[in-house]
Amino acid sequence: MQISDSSTRILAGLLEARTGQQLTMSRRWRIETALSSLLRERGISTLDELITILVMGKEPSLSQMVVEALLNNETYFFRDRAPFDLLQRYALPELAQRRARSKRLRIWSAGCSTGQETYSLAMLFAEEPEKWRGWTIDILGTDVSTACVDRARSGAYSQFEVQRGLGINQMIKWFEECPDGWRAVEELRRPLRFQVHNLLEQPPHPGGFDIVLCRNVLLYLSPEKKTLSFERLAASMAEDGWLMLGAGETVIGQTTRLGADINARGLYRLVSGGQVEKRQSDRRATSARA
């Protein structure tokens, strides 16, 4: 099934207009595979016929379905485990101390896809019940895809999905069998909320998040959109908050608002007012006294 260059340009324009993501050459090979099931469901014989329907504008909902099909929703539990270990080793102990009075943490998983990242976060807290007893842990997962948000909210995953990143003991402890596979237990779902949100929009709670995860999303944005996204992420963070990016992503050359934490490579902090340097100095002093 072939698609013309003009149709490819239309799809690329639609995807970028709706999500800010680019349909780069490395992603264009996925077009036919990504849209094949949608064509069958709608009884459309060719990709160019689909483009004609989109251009005519008679089925607005079809445009959203096409965009969601083109998105890369690859994710799994504890993806690239090392960053989660950094959270446990550096971010969470510091936040536990700094938030000892309020006993509340707010975490945002931006571009959460089908939700495995948010449930991984919930497991970090659920597996240390004594440490977090009495705390309010609020974890928000957002994605531009309505279908992904609905799936994440359900907490239901196939056998294959729960086995990706989870050990057998974790799977049995935190998931229960359901008709279509496995579903996260109530204790794991309780701190989680999900909503549709575009990263290019204003953040859900400006200045309110202690930890923000935005992993493998910025890879697909143009330089201008990437800069705007970093502004949104920085605006969402508490002054002493933390940011986790994907393994192939960095703030270097992208923004002046965020810098790498020298003690936790792979995590980022706000740099305005010398906050990163001050926090790191305080941490070194604390370690020396210990």
Is the alpha carbon torsion for 12, 17, 21, 22 positive or negative? Answer: positive
Contact 67, 147 (CB under 8 A): no
Model pLDDT for residues 218-234, shown as the tens digit of each residue: 988 888 899 999 999 99
Q: Which two tokens stand for residue 276?
A: 């990163």
Q: Which two tokens stand for residue 233?
A: 């992420």
pLDDT value at residue 274: 43
End-to-end CA distance of the chain: 66
Beta-bridge mates of residue 213: 109, 244
Contacts of 277-283 spanning 24+ positions with Cβ under 8 A: 279/240, 283/94
Contact 279, 269 (CB under 8 A): yes
The secondary structure of residue 90, as a DSSP letter, is: I
| Coil, helix or strand at residue 204 | coil
Measure the CA–CA gap between 167 and 55, rounded to whole angstroms.
47
Model pLDDT for residues 26-83, shown as the tens digit of each residue: 667 778 878 888 888 888 888 888 888 888 877 778 888 888 888 878 899 999 888 8
Domain regions of the chain by residue span:
5-70, 82-154+189-289
- Rg of the chain (C-alpha set): 21
Measure the CA–CA gap between 204 and 109, rounded to whole angstroms.
11
pLDDT value at residue 197: 95
Average pLDDT over residues 231-238: 96
Contact 51, 2 (CB under 8 A): no
| Coil, helix or strand at residue 205 | coil
Average pLDDT over residues 18-29: 76
CATH of domain 82-154+189-289: 3.40.50.150
The secondary structure of residue 36, as a DSSP letter, is: H
Element (H, E) at 47: helix 47-56
Model pLDDT for residues 156-173, shown as the tens digit of each residue: 999 999 999 999 999 999
Measure the CA–CA gap between 248 and 236, rounded to whole angstroms.
22
Contact 175, 184 (CB under 8 A): yes
Confidence of residue 150 (pLDDT cuts 50, 70, 90): very high
The pTM of the whole model exceeds 0.85: no
